[in-house]
Amino acid sequence: MKGNEALAEAAMRAGCKCFFGYPITPQTELAAYMAKNMQKNGGVFLQAESEIAAINMVLGAASTGVRAMTSSSSPGISLKSEGISYIAGSDLPCVIINVERGGPGLGGIQPSQADYWQATKGLGHGDFHLLVFAPASVQEMVDMVVKAFNKADEYRMPAMILADGLLGQMMEPVTFPEIAVEMPDKSGWAADGHKNKREHHIINSLYLTPEELEKTVVDRFARYDVIKEKETDAELYLTEDADIVVCAFGATARVVKSAVNDAREQGIKVGMFRPKTLWPFPEKEVQKACANASKVLSVEMSMGQMVDDIKLALSCAKPVEFFGRTGGVIPTPAEVLEKIKAMGGNN
């Protein structure tokens, strides 16, 4: 199954009741799959007039307590950033898929990871975060979309699947696990008509008293602290004896894994650290992965973005180098291996 289609199918199985989108390469198959199947499953598919309208339709649907989703690719995510900020500020759960392409501007349509900063640090104005999941296979896309819906509901915040054009277009066998849809009770806040049985609910992000706004943000960050404690996830691959640890996420991690295997065959002690959650960033896991390493390398499809988080997590105690390709160019295992060797990686 194609990555984009698997995302759509998994979302529906996770209880997603509506999809609002706008066409953009390379995520279009996702919307097409939704268009074909959402209504059959008793849900809503609507092609909006813009990315801005689509995210605000998500805001409306999520306000009433239903599981809502939108998907796009980099330039479209920028357009959605206004709505995402309002969704975060209104404590609404939803899932947003970004099948990244090269930027900035119109950029290109080939795979990229250059929206890492946007997703983890700056997706809209104000103090807030999204949960950001980074799948590296079609199966993981399926598993993470389910998790994203559950965690978005649990913490009442937007969750993002940060994929890239490579994963979106990739075909792999996939199994859909028996999905236990954990649908929490939203009757305490959802604006779905009070039926004359309760006080009216207000979904809102406006607080004109600075102290009141500060309190809502501080409370939200207290929730973020719990998330940082509980929700980080990462894969550590051959890191225990590694002299060099190569860090990569998403599709790039597949390339890196090949390079690590090649290096190991040549007797070079290399391992890989792969964050599965980008926010919260798995700080403890990267510290553990690099505990015995003398050098660290971050490989990304960008000019180097996650590398900053690695340096921070390691408190700059170890040299962290960077290798990347950008603009839609995918690094090859040979390039990565060459870099590992250049760093002095030996047995």
Partner 1 sequence: MAVVFERPKALCDVPLHYCPGCTHGIVHRLVAEVIDEMGIEGDTVGICPVGCSVMAYNYFNCDMIEAPHGRAPAVATGVKRTNPDKFVFTYQGDGDLAAIGTAETVHAATRGENIVVIFINNTIYGMTGGQMAPTTIPGQVTQTTPYGRDPQLAGYPVRVSEMLATLTGTALAQRVAVDSVPHIREAKNAIRKAFENQRDKKGFSLVEVLSTCPTNWGMTPIKALERLREEMIPYYPLGVYKDITEGGNK
Q: How far is the CB of 311 from partner 1 (least distance, A)?
A: 35
Q: Coil, helix or strand for 313?
A: helix
Enumerate residues 6+ apart whose C-beta is below 8 A from 258: 333, 336
User: Side chain identity at 242, as an amino acid letter?
Assistant: A
CA distance 281 to 286: 9
Q: How far is the CB of 325 from partner 1 (least distance, A)?
A: 36
Q: How far is the CB of 91 from partner 1 (least distance, A)?
A: 12
Q: How far is the CB of 197 from partner 1 (least distance, A)?
A: 7
Q: Which is nearer to partner 1, 62 or 141 (CB)?
A: 62
Q: Which is nearer to partner 1, 191 or 259 (CB)?
A: 191
Q: How far is the CB of 229 from partner 1 (least distance, A)?
A: 31
Q: Coil, helix or strand for 234?
A: strand
Q: Which is nearer to partner 1, 173 or 198 (CB)?
A: 198
User: Side chain identity at 320, as an amino acid letter?
Assistant: V
Which two tokens mark 259? 């390079």
Q: Which is nearer to partner 1, 8 or 245 (CB)?
A: 8
Going by C-alpha positions, the residue among 54, 5, 59 that lies closest to residue 27 is 5
Tell whether omega for the bond before 331 is within 30 degrees of 0, i.e. cis. Answer: no
Q: Sign of the CA dihedral 109, 24, 58, 39?
A: negative
Q: Which is nearer to partner 1, 56 or 112 (CB)?
A: 56
Q: Coil, helix or strand for 127?
A: coil
State the residues that interact with partner 1 by CB under 8 A: 17-18, 20, 44, 46, 48-50, 52-54, 56-64, 66, 68, 82-83, 86, 90, 191-197, 200-206
Which two tokens mark 261? 């295997």
**Per-residue CA distances from 148 to 141, 248, 287, 322, 347 (Å):** 10, 21, 25, 29, 40
Q: How far is the CB of 183 from partner 1 (least distance, A)?
A: 14
User: Side chain identity at 287, as an amino acid letter?
Assistant: Q
Q: Which residue has the tokens 């599709």?
A: 251
Q: Which is nearer to partner 1, 43 or 324 (CB)?
A: 43
Q: Which is nearer to partner 1, 30 or 68 (CB)?
A: 68
Q: Which is nearer to partner 1, 15 or 250 (CB)?
A: 15
CA distance 26 to 111: 8
Q: How far is the CB of 93 from partner 1 (least distance, A)?
A: 14
CA distance 284 to 232: 9
Enumerate residues 6+ apart whose C-beta is below 8 A from 207: 213, 216
Q: How far is the CB of 184 from partner 1 (least distance, A)?
A: 17
Which two tokens mark 145? 């979309």
Q: Which is nearer to partner 1, 90 or 137 (CB)?
A: 90
CA-derived radius of gyration, the chain: 20
Q: How far is the CB of 195 from partner 1 (least distance, A)?
A: 4
